[in-house]
A and B are shown apart, each in its own frame.
Chain A
Amino acid sequence: MKDNDLPVTDDELHAYVDGELPADRRAAVEAWLATHADDAARVAAWRLQADAIRARYADVAEQPIPRKLQLDRMSYASRLWKLAAAAAVVAAFFLGGFAGWMARDTAGDAPDAFERLTAQALNAHKIYSVEVRHPVEVAAADAEHLQQWLSKRVGYPLRAPNLEAQGLQLVGGRLLPTPTGAAAAFFMYENASGERFTLYCARTKTANTGMHYNAADKAGAIYWVDSNVAYVVSGASERKQLWKVARAAYEQIEPRVSQDERRS
């Protein structure tokens, strides 16, 4: 074998360890290692490294696959993603128009930012509350995951309020952009007759405000800021019902936020 006479290169030593060495060089490398203690030590060390890496992480592949990585949920999420992307384009279009209009006579100071946030929330309500098949990104069945995810993205611990006393069941939620490009949490609720209410929450620079009411195109919104978090409750129904829902949400949200304030 003439190949046996060629000196063994470092590349070949690595290829030998990684099972990439052509078969006709195998004998040559093994003969080389038998007479070159330094190289033999290197090869042994590389093998130990590989064993240690495999031993360290092997069990990860043995663990059961967590729920959030199950493919049926994934394909659902990816379908929704397309939809959300389309909706976001629509929302951005509306909002761009609205923001442009707002910018007509004022520089974007805090009250404007709050107005824009409310407009964003109302747009989101209009777009998603009419969705039959894909109203939310994560369904209420995964409420725990939904809340963890949104808390992480929005940047403070949040929970979807329980509005069952108002006859509303949580449908689920999604992540949405705010007018300034931050993350907002969006929860959707539904009553027995299919009427939908949404709650939009995002961090804001404004510290606190009272509760405001605003209505446009058959959709109404009640919005307020509490401890630097803006909340917008939107619904199609008449004002009285909207107030009841907003109050119920407010009462459940408020103590949590102040707890966080104390902690931080």
Chain B
Amino acid sequence: MIGFKEGVQLAIPALRRYARALTHDADVADDLVQDTLVRALRSQHLFNGGELRSWLYTILTNLNRNRLRSLARRPTITAIGDNDAPDASGPEAGGRDIERALATLVEDQRTALLLVVLEGLSYREVAEVQGVPIGTVMSRVARARLQIRAYLENDRPMLRRVK
């Protein structure tokens, strides 16, 4: 049985990975993780002793939603992949494509897909993180996959404007 703080510590690399995939921006992602960690430590007394990892993903997901809301209020155009230079030219040429495809997703679908595929959470855990029934998680994952496949295979017909 590991302690609360050790548990949080062990989760940091995965939280950074998740945040990076959500935001496509290394600085924004680490700010998000920082806010998540501060909030987690601050509200340790609120942690109900469930799955620590899910709780941390929940905090980060909610903070990101707040961030996107405040961004939506003042429209700005952000080029995908800016500020992402160090590993952008990775060995696999598909890296950029999948990144752009993810960026076309609705936020809830992107979150659900990343938690399942990248972070390996179960549908049940994602349902807790997103505060929705498991069936909703499954339909979000299904829609996300459909959209990504369409984007990658059909010359990006469903590309929507990215804020």
List the interface of chain A (C-beta within 8 A of B): 10-11, 14-15, 18, 20, 42, 45-46, 49-50, 52-63, 65-66, 68-69, 71, 74-75, 77-78, 81-82
For B152, the chain A residues whose CB sits under 8 A away are: 49
CB pair B145–A14 under 8 Å, yes or no, is yes
For B60, the chain A residues whose CB sits under 8 A away are: none
For B83, the chain A residues whose CB sits under 8 A away are: none
Known contacts A18-B123, A69-B30; decide if A49 and B141 are in contact (CB<8 Å).
no
Give the 8 A-B CB pairs with smallest separation, nearest first: A61-B13, A52-B98, A61-B17, A60-B17, A78-B42, A78-B41, A50-B117, A56-B95
Chain B residue with Cβ nearest A41: B149
Known contacts A65-B12, A74-B34; decide if A49 and B42 are in contact (CB<8 Å).
no
CB pair B41–A54 under 8 Å, yes or no, is no
CB pair B116–A18 under 8 Å, yes or no, is yes
What is the size, in residues, of chain B's interface with A at 8 Å between Cβ atoms? Answer: 43
Bound-state CA distance A75–B5 (Å) is 9
CB pair A65–B38 under 8 Å, yes or no, is no
For A63, the chain B residues whose CB sits under 8 A away are: 13, 16
CB pair B37–A74 under 8 Å, yes or no, is yes
List the interface of chain B (C-beta within 8 A of A): 5, 8-9, 12-14, 16-17, 20-21, 29-30, 33-34, 37-38, 41-42, 87, 90, 92, 94-95, 97-99, 101-102, 113-114, 116-118, 122-123, 138, 141-142, 145, 148-149, 152-153
For B117, the chain A residues whose CB sits under 8 A away are: 18, 49-50, 53-54
CB pair B118–A69 under 8 Å, yes or no, is no
Interface centre among B5, B117, B148 (most CB of A within 10 A): B117
CB pair A49–B149 under 8 Å, yes or no, is yes
Say whether chain A's binding surface is mostly helix, strand, loop, or mixed: helix
CB pair B21–A77 under 8 Å, yes or no, is no
For A52, the chain B residues whose CB sits under 8 A away are: 92, 94-95, 97-98
For A77, the chain B residues whose CB sits under 8 A away are: 38
CB pair B118–A54 under 8 Å, yes or no, is yes
CB pair B98–A74 under 8 Å, yes or no, is no
